[in-house]
């Protein structure tokens, strides 16, 4: 009709269907003509006025659209489509609080509130109010219990809210009620895995795969569980099975490399890190993996080359700068190492390993005071500084400052005795240190 300049009679609902089709398919020219014709035939139709505002949003005329919708809201304050459109445009303008206000109004008047609830959950996520998003999505899933999209969104928000125990409770109940829903078991497995309840996670993934044997994400996550529990051969099998289903993928190839690296199979790790880079030349983690392989072999120049290539991909990556510093220490380039490590802690003040290696680089230059100053700086910056304090104690005992060392060591023991071994991982010779061992022994006797 539009192309041939022919005119047929449509009622308003048919015009709305045509306009919505053009809106969904972003056919702006046809949409404009359809709107003009619709407004000519039905000048007072509120649905067409809303579509006109949506057309202006599509053309980045948000302020004009907002004015149109405000005029409609003044006339039709209880119209759910007006309220939803107001919410949508405020969301586009990143004014999420106002979007939420209109969605809450829409909930009061809309006879079919499901789509309103989904929009409201999304808005709460935009402003970081994940608990409220969880509540809204729970309400929505009670209305649409078979909706996998809502179920997946709820799993995502549980994770964002760090509500892992609640996630386990919810998906346990849901899986009991819907035992053949593969997503329910999959999300339950993920929740268990987040809490390091690995046996339960594997059982949940097994149920997922019993329902859908080619549920590749469940196979992949099963591999992660095996990797986390040092079952490296089983991890590799899961990742290889994922490749068979999904095809060659840089991320999966990288994790095969990770499994072989953790198993001490450096040649195989190198092979899969390299294959990952072939699949995606910008896969930074595989470059870092290769740097670790070369570093562990003592091939420091090749390790440095790989980490510098990684940093070309992302120069602001704290861990990569930390690894570069560590490699430069092995090359006896201490000044360059300190520069790289300084950058690492500047990029991420919570990178405890970078602080520790930075102090080591300073210590290796026979500058114990400088190393202690680095640790003092780290202690102020890091939210959980127990490893920093243990290292400080180690340096004090190494330099025969026993009284200071005792005070610092007792502080660390009070904070977390389980991390005591970090002292000996740094310097195994301290295991034989008489004074140090006496302090530890007395502390354990006194504190049971």
Quick one: how far is CA 308 from the chain centroid? 25
The mean pLDDT value for 251-262 works out to 98
Q: Is 448 within the bounds of a domain?
A: yes
Whether residue 396 is contained in a domain is answered as: yes
- Domain presence at residue 364: no
Look at residue 8 in the predicted model and tell me its pLDDT: 47
Q: Of 200, 219, 247, which residue constitutes the final position of a domain? A: 247
CA distance linking residue 241 with residue 221, whole number of Å:
12
Closest to 89 measured CA to CA, from 68, 114, 118, 116? 68
Report yes or no: 375 and 354 within 8 Å, Cβ to Cβ.
no
Do 371 and 395 contact (CB within 8 A), yes or no? Answer: yes
pLDDT of residue 205 exceeding 90: yes
- In whole angstroms, what is the distance from residue 158 CA to residue 165 CA? 9
First-last CA distance in the chain: 88
Q: Is 244 exposed, middle or buried (0-12, 13-18, 19+ CB in 10 A)?
A: exposed
Q: Specify whether the CB–CB gap between 408 and 389 falls below 8 A.
A: yes
pLDDT in tens, 148-170: 999 999 999 999 999 999 999 99
Q: Outline where 127-249 has alpha helix (H).
A: 130-143, 148-160, 164-177, 182-194, 198-211, 216-228, 232-246
d(C-alpha 96, C-alpha 3), whole Å: 40
Better-scored residue on pLDDT, 446 or 294:
294
Instruction: For residue 34, give the 3-state DSSP assignment.
Output: helix
pLDDT band with cut points at 50, 70 and 90 for residue 255: very high
CB within 8 Å of 401: residues ≥ 6 apart = none
On whether the CB atoms of residues 399 and 411 are closer than 8 A, the answer is: no
Confidence of residue 118 (pLDDT cuts 50, 70, 90): very high
Is the confidence at residue 29, as pLDDT, over 70?
no
Is there a domain that residue 401 lies in? yes
Asked whether residue 184 is assigned to any structural domain, the reply reads yes
Rounded to the nearest angstrom, the gap between the alpha carbon of residue 69 and the centroid of all alpha carbons in its chain is 37
More confident residue, 399 or 15: 399
pLDDT score for 88: 85
> Averaged over 331-354, what is the pLDDT?
97
Percent of the chain with pLDDT over 70: 89
Residue 53's pLDDT is 72
Domain final residue pick, 232, 247, 262: 247
Mind listing the pLDDT tens digit for each residue in 378-389?
Answer: 999 999 999 999
324-344: average pLDDT:
97
Distance CA 1, CA 9 (A): 11
| Contact in structure between 70 and 90 (CB atoms under 8 Å) | no
> Does the residue 375 lie in any domain?
no
Residue 317 has pLDDT above 80, yes or no: yes
For residue 111, the 8-state DSSP code is S
| Mean local confidence (pLDDT), 305-326 | 97
Note the pLDDT tens digit of each residue in 188-200: 999 999 999 999 9
Please determine, for residue 5, whether its predicted confidence score (pLDDT) is greater than 60. Answer: no
Residue range(s) defining the domain that contains residue 233: 163-247
Please state the domain count of the chain: 2
What string of DSSP letters covers 207-228? HHHHH-TT-HHHHHHHHHHHHH
Is the pLDDT at 4 greater than 90, yes or no? no
For residue 369, how many C-alpha atoms fall within 13 Å in the half-sphere facing its CB?
0
The structure tokens listed for 103 are 């969605």
In a domain, 101, yes or no: no
Nearest to 257 by CA among 284, 239, 234: 239
Question: Which residue shows structure tokens 């405020």?
Answer: 90
> Residue 383: is it exposed, middle or buried by C-beta count within 10 angstroms (0-12/13-18/19+)?
exposed
pLDDT above 70 for 30: no
Rounded CA-CA distance 92/88 in Å is 6
**Residue 21 pLDDT class (50, 70, 90 cuts):** confident
Residue 67 confidence class, pLDDT cut points 50, 70, 90: confident
Q: Which of 226, 247, 268 is the last residue of a domain?
A: 247
What does the mean pLDDT of the chain come to?
A: 90
2 pLDDT more than 60: no
Q: How confident is the model at residue 294 (pLDDT cuts 50, 70, 90)?
A: very high
Least confident of 18-27, 103-112, 132-141, 349-358: 18-27
Q: Is the pLDDT of residue 356 over 90?
A: yes
Could you tell me if residue 446 is inside a domain?
yes
- Greater confidence (43 vs 112) lies with 112
CATH of the domain at 209: 1.25.40.10
309 three-state secondary structure:
helix
CA distances from 115 to 12, 16, 65, 80, 402 (A): 23, 19, 22, 11, 67
At 258, the pLDDT band (50, 70, 90 cuts) reads very high
**Is the model's pLDDT at 22 over the cut of 70?**
no
Question: Does residue 244 have a pLDDT over 80?
Answer: yes
């Amino acid at each position: 009709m539009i192309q041939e300049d022919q005119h047929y009679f449509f009622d308003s609902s048919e015009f709305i269907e045509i306009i919505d089709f053009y809106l969904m398919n972003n056919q702006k020219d046809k949409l404009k003509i359809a709107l003009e014709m619709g407004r000519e035939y039905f000048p007072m139709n509120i649905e067409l006025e809303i579509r006109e505002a949506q057309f202006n949003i599509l053309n980045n005329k948000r302020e004009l659209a907002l004015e149109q919708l405000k005029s409609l809201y003044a006339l039709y304050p209880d119209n759910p489509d007006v309220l939803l459109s107001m919410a949508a445009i405020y969301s586009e303008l990143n004014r999420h609080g106002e979007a939420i206000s209109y969605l809450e109004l829409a909930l009061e008047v809309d006879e079919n509130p499901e789509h309103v609830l989904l929009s409201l959950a999304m808005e709460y996520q935009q402003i970081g109010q994940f608990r409220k998003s969880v509540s809204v999505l729970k309400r929505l899933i009670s209305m649409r219990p078979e909706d996998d999209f809502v179920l997946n969104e709820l799993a995502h928000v549980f994770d964002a809210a760090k509500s892992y125990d609640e996630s386990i409770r919810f998906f346990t109940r849901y899986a009991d009620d819907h035992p053949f829903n593969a997503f329910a078991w999959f999300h339950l497995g993920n929740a268990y895995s987040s809490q390091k309840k690995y046996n339960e996670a594997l059982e949940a993934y097994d149920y997922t795969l019993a329902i859908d044997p080619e549920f590749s994400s469940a196979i992949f996550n099963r591999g992660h569980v095996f990797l986390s529990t040092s079952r490296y051969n089983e991890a590799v099998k899961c990742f290889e099975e994922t490749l068979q289903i999904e095809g060659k993928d840089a991320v999966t190839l990288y994790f095969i490399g990770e499994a072989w690296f953790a198993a001490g199979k450096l040649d195989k790790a190198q092979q899969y890190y390299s294959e990952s880079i072939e699949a995606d030349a910008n896969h930074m983690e595989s470059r870092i993996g290769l740097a670790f392989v070369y570093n562990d072999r003592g091939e420091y120049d090749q390790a440095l080359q790989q980490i510098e290539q990684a940093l070309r991909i992302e120069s602001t990556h704290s861990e990569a700068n930390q690894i570069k510093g560590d490699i430069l220490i092995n090359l006896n380039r201490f000044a360059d190492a300190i520069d790289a490590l300084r950058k690492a802690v500047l990029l991420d003040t919570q990178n405890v390993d970078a602080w520790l290696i930075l102090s080591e680089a300073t210590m290796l230059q026979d500058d114990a005071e400088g190393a202690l100053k680095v640790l003092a700086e780290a202690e102020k910056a890091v939210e959980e500084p127990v490893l920093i304090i243990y290292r400080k104690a180690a340096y004090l005992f190494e330099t025969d400052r026993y009284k200071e060392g005792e005070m610092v060591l007792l502080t660390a023991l009070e904070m977390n005795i389980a991390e005591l071994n970090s002292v000996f991982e740094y310097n195994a010779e301290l295991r034989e240190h008489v004074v140090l061992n006496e302090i530890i022994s007395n502390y354990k006797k006194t504190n049971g």
